[in-house]
């Protein structure tokens, strides 16, 4: 909740700054959103710890077991 509120707030501030300095604002927005995506990807993939075979979606049954 707090993160999405901060995201909206920073986005609004940057959008209003476009009228004063568009190239700087475009760079800031691109950097901010790419950093946000990178952080979310990192925490989604690595912070939860190693996944088990079942969580990875691999087949855990041997071939001689009927399905």
Determine the distance from the C-alpha atom of residue 19 to the mean position of all C-alpha atoms in its chain, rounded to a whole number. Answer: 28
Q: Of 19, 41, 12, which is closest to residue 4 (Cα–Cα)?
A: 12
Per-residue model confidence (pLDDT) at position 26? 78
Angle formed by the axes of helices 2-17 and 22-45, to 10°?
A: 160
Contact call for residues 60 and 54 (beta carbons, < 8 A): yes
What is the distance between the alpha carbons of residues 3 and 66, in angstroms, rounded to a whole number? 47
Give 9-50 pLDDT, tens digit per residue. 777 777 777 677 778 777 877 888 888 888 888 777 776 666
What is the distance between the alpha carbons of residues 35 and 13, in angstroms, rounded to a whole number? 17
- When mean pLDDT is compared across 3-7, 13-17, 24-28, 61-65, the lowest value belongs to 61-65
Per-residue model confidence (pLDDT) at position 22? 75
């Amino acid at each position: 909740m707090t993160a999405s509120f901060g995201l909206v707030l920073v986005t609004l501030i940057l959008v209003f700054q476009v009228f004063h300095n568009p190239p700087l604002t475009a760079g800031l927005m691109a950097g901010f959103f790419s950093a946000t995506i990178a952080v979310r990807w990192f925490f989604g993939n690595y912070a939860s710890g190693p996944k088990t075979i079942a969580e990875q979606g691999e087949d855990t049954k041997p071939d001689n077991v009927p399905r």
